[in-house]
Amino acid sequence: MNDSDAQGSAAASQPSSRSSAWRRSVVRLASDWFFGLALGLLAYQGVTDGLAARSQAALRSEMPALTAPAPSATAALDFSAWERDKAYWDALKPGQPFATIVCEAIGLDAVVVKGVEPRDLRLGPGWAPYTDVPGPTGNCGISGHRTTYGAPFRRIDRLERGDRISLVAPHTTYTYEVERVFVVRPDQTEVFATTEEPSLTLTACHPPYSARYRIVARAVLVGATPNQAGRE
């Protein structure tokens, strides 16, 4: 190969080298961007979880009766203390403790607050004020986060028919049994419509990290037992 051939070969290889270097730079930048995004999401989730934990601790101390242990199972429907619960709920302001929700099947134990505005759901699961309160009739609607602010409803998709969910109010523990879990569009608000049969409806965004759909757990009331406070 003469000098002119060597020079031509070297010149031809230069664009290819520059192209490879450019691709490596793009891949490296994309990798750094995704790593930074993942790190940022983890940090954000950690911060919101910490804030929610502090809020939950404050709510529990504000209303200690709400942390009373719920019975594991009951068949009785005793609404003798329901009027006192209703009076308590009627006096609540947004963000104040409504009840404690407990479900051993998905490791759920959180204080529910009144309201489903973003500021309310940062504190914990929220009771929708346009739905019914727990009691002898009606549909009690509660929404919660699945990914941030403690993610109280993280495992809502793991609920199965027959799982028990308890709402521990100041005077009565209301126990529900899951009937079904299903997915709806965000505009299908009829899932919160009142019912003659006493029921509980839990909702959360679906899938996790997306608000495209809502996952819904519908349960029916199988027990209402006055707490110690309710008997006094």
Question: What CATH number has the domain bearing residue 102?
Answer: 2.40.260.10
Give every residue of the chain whose pLDDT is below 70, as ranges.
1-18, 25-27, 29-44, 64-75, 229-232
Q: How far apart are CA 59 and CA 67, in angstroms?
A: 10
Residue 45 pLDDT: 73
Residue 38 lies in a domain: no
> In the prediction, which pLDDT does 22 show?
74
Contact 84, 171 (CB under 8 A): yes
Full domain range(s) for residue 56? 50-231
DSSP state of 153: T
CA–CA gap between residue 97 and residue 188 (Å, rounded): 27
The answer to whether position 36 is within a domain reads no
Q: Give the pLDDT confidence of 90-139 residue by residue, as tens digits.
A: 999 999 999 999 999 999 999 999 999 999 999 999 999 999 999 999 99
Handedness of CA 207, 218, 74, 229 (dihedral sign): positive
Please provide the size of the chain in residues: 232
CB half-sphere exposure, 194, CA atoms < 13 A: 11
- What pLDDT shows up at residue 5? 52
Q: Which two three-digit tokens encode residue 75?
A: 């068949």
Per-residue pLDDT, 20: 74
Distance of CA 2 to the CA centre of its chain: 74
Residue 197 inside a domain? The answer is yes
Could you please report the per-residue DSSP string of 69-123? PPPS----B--TTHHHHHHHHHT--TTSEEEEEEEGGGTEEEEEEE--SHHHHTT
Residue 67, classed as helix, strand or coil, is: helix
Q: What is the residue type of 43?
A: A
Reduced to 3 states (helix: H, G, I; strand: E, B; else coil), residue 5 is helix
Asked if residue 188 belongs to a domain, the reply is yes
Number of folded domains that form the chain = 1
Residue 160 within a domain: yes
The token duo for 136 is 């002898």
**β-bridge mates for residue 100, sequence order:** 111, 168
- How far apart (Å, rounded) are the C-alpha atoms in residues 203 and 191? 9
**pLDDT value at position 2?**
53
Establish if 15 belongs to a structural domain: no
Evaluate whether 116 touches 123 at the Cβ level (below 8 Å).
Answer: no
CB 81 within 8 A of CB 230: yes
pLDDT of residue 47: 84
Tokens in use for 218? 């519908």
Flag whether 28 is in a domain. Answer: no
DSSP letters, 182-215, are EEE-TT-GGGGS--SS-EEEEEEEESTT--SEEE
Map residue 99 onto helix, strand or coil.
Answer: strand
Residue 230 has a pLDDT of 47
Domain assignment of residue 81, yes or no = yes
Instruction: Give the pLDDT confidence score for residue 72 in this predicted structure.
Output: 47
